[in-house]
Structure formats: structure tokens, C-alpha cells
A = this chain, B = another copy of it.
Amino acid sequence: MILLFLSSNTPFITNMRHNKDITIYDIARELNISAATVSRGLKNNPVISEETRIRIQELAALKGYRPNTVARNLRRQKTNAIGMIVPRLDSYFIATVLAGIETVISPAGFHLIITQSFESVQKEITNTIAMFNSRVDALIVSLAADTTDISHFEPFWSKGIPVFFFDRVCDKDYCQKFVIDNYEAAYALTSHMISQGCRKIIHIAGNTTKNVYYDRMNGYKNALTDHGIKVKPSYILVNNLSLQAGIVAAEKILALKPLPDGVFVANDLCAACCMQMFKEKGLRIPEDIAVAGFNNDPVSRLVEPRLTTVNYPGELMGKLVATCLIDKLNGKSPADFSPLQIIKSELLIRGSTSRI
């Protein structure tokens, strides 16, 4: 008795079983009907009589039938899988986008296949090919840092498989992309810093071949120019925005004479890191030097003073991307669907720049 009980509960024993999956044919045979009828009955095809439908579904449940998605996909030439390629997963922003996408996609019957490019085009290309071969129904991409050529997506386009870019998008007009107005946000942020009396503002940018960092840098530059402040190329530092890079950058800044009175960093983590370094050197934030970040990462609310930043609505963006994608896959894409979708961001002014 106990043995029986165990045998239905411990994988050690049940592992041995490897009992074969039951198919629509098994059900058909047992019910003395055809596989076609079973197939129809299982998916509530109204053409099947109530009675047979019930018999089919009951037996299926009883025997623990599970539809074979692989066979179904092969037959229908459709996988219900959406591929996703992102630079890294360990970023709060990406995680929120993912969360948004998943909430929309999953109820719609799709699932996500996720890979990371680890900021390398090479890996991105490999992943793209793998996705293509696994026949994903669509692709959602945020580009790697060193991606300039995007011809690896060509196979998707030439087969009419949707490729949606978000955040780090390609520069081609015909690409479907979802972004915030990085230029505008950076312009507003920089203007705010100027309004707080900052005149010597450093900008720490990420890889400026990417639209996000390029646009933020330009927003910074133009805000300066428009306020009659000359842009000093030496005031623009480019790195990968990691904590380590933040330490190096902060040291560079601390060595400058005269000391700058503001630093606008293209992400929050690196900004927080710089701010910490400044504080450790005895500088007061924001009086001696104001610091601002970008993204509204939780860290921005936890450091002292709280970090001025730009709210980047990742989850919202994810939901929008996913909604548009599902619509497109279901063929009910509105005619006026613009290839460039801009999501509203928002300047969050906090202690780290409030000097007045």
C-alpha cells in the first residue's frame, strides 16, 4: 500500500515509467471515431455534436491527454512563440519591460523565448539566427552596444516576420520602434540643472552609437547651447555606465580644475556611484556638485540625496510593444500604425539637483 503510494509520488520510481504520451489516435480508437473528429471535439469545433464532444473531452481528461504543441506548430506553420533579444537581463529597466510584455503576451496564448546578447553583436547575430530557425512568430529586440549593421534581421523582414525594436532601436525609418524621447528628456533635465545654477556640467554617456545615448547627449548639448553655455568636448565622458566605470569617471571628474558643478549621467546606477564618490571626497550634493541620472531605477530613491532622474516607463513600454505585436500577429493592426511609437517619459526632480 505504502509502496503504491510512493510510486505515484516519487520521481525516482516514476522516472522509470516514461509512459508514452497519449494522442488523438488513442482517444479515437477507444471511442471508435476518427482522429479528425477528436481533433475537432477537443477544440470545441461547433460542427461536432454536443454528445461526441463531451465524450471526447471526458476521455481526454481521464487519460491525461495533452495536445502536442510541436506537431500542431509543424502543421500550422506557426509557433506562438515570440523571441526576445536584449543586451542583458540584469537591468531593472529591461526587467520591467519584460514584465509588461509577459503580462500581455501570455493571456493571448503566446510565450516568450528570451536570450541575451551580452552587448555583443556576435552573440546577437547567433541569437537572431537561432530564433529564426526556431520559427518564432515575431521578434522583440533591444540592440547590443556595438550593433551598427542590422542586416542579420533581414531574413525576418524578407519573410514578413515582425521585428519590433524598443529602447535601443535601429536607425532605419522602416523599422518598427518604441522609444521615449531621449533627446527631449535629456534637454529638459539639463535645462533644469542650468536653472539650478549649474554652469559646468559634465555628461557621462553610454556608447553613443546607440540612439538612446546619442540622443541624451544631444539633448544635453543643445540645452547648454540654448542657454548660452559652450559645449566642452572634454566634459563629455563615454563609458559603459557600470559601477566600475562610474568610479573611474568620478575620479576623472574630481581631478578637473575647476571642479564642475553638475554631472548628468545617462543611467542611475552609474550616477549613484559617482555621487557616492563625490560625497566621500567631502563634496556636498547638490551644493558643490549636482548629480542627475536617468531611468528612475529604484536605487535613485534610496541614495542620499535622492537622485534627480527621468522616469522611463518600462512596464508601460513593454505592454504597448506587446499589444501592438499581438494585434499585428492577429492581423488587426490599425492602418495608421506608425513605425515610430514614442512613449511619454517624465522628469523627476529630487534632492540631488535642487540647489535653489
Interface residues of A (CB under 8 A from B): 8-12, 14-19, 21, 64, 66-71, 73-74, 79, 81, 88-92, 95-96, 98-99, 102-103, 106, 111-116, 118, 127, 130, 132-135, 154-155, 157-160, 163, 174, 243, 269, 272-273, 276, 279, 298-299, 301-304
Contacts and interface: CB of A to CB of B under 8 A. Distances in A.
Which among A92, A134, A304 has the highest number of chain B CB atoms within 10 Å? A134
A71 B133 CA distance: 11
B112 A114 contact: yes
8 contacts: A14-B160, A18-B160, A68-B133, A89-B89, A99-B116, A111-B130, A112-B115, A243-B298
A11 B96 CA distance: 29
Given A11-B157, A155-B64, A299-B298, A102 B90 contact: no
* For the complex of A and B, 3 pairs with smallest distance between CB atoms: A90-B95, A11-B157, A14-B158
Contact of A115 (B8, B102, B279): B102
A133 B98 contact: no
A191 B116 CA distance: 40
B116 A158 contact: no
A302 B303 contact: yes
A165 B15 CA distance: 17
A118 B106 CA distance: 12
A351 B33 CA distance: 74
A332 to B, nearest CB: 16
Nearest to A69: B134
A14 B157 contact: yes
Given A90-B95, A106-B115, A160 B303 contact: no
A111 B158 CA distance: 24
Given A68-B135, A95-B90, A99-B88, A18 B159 contact: yes
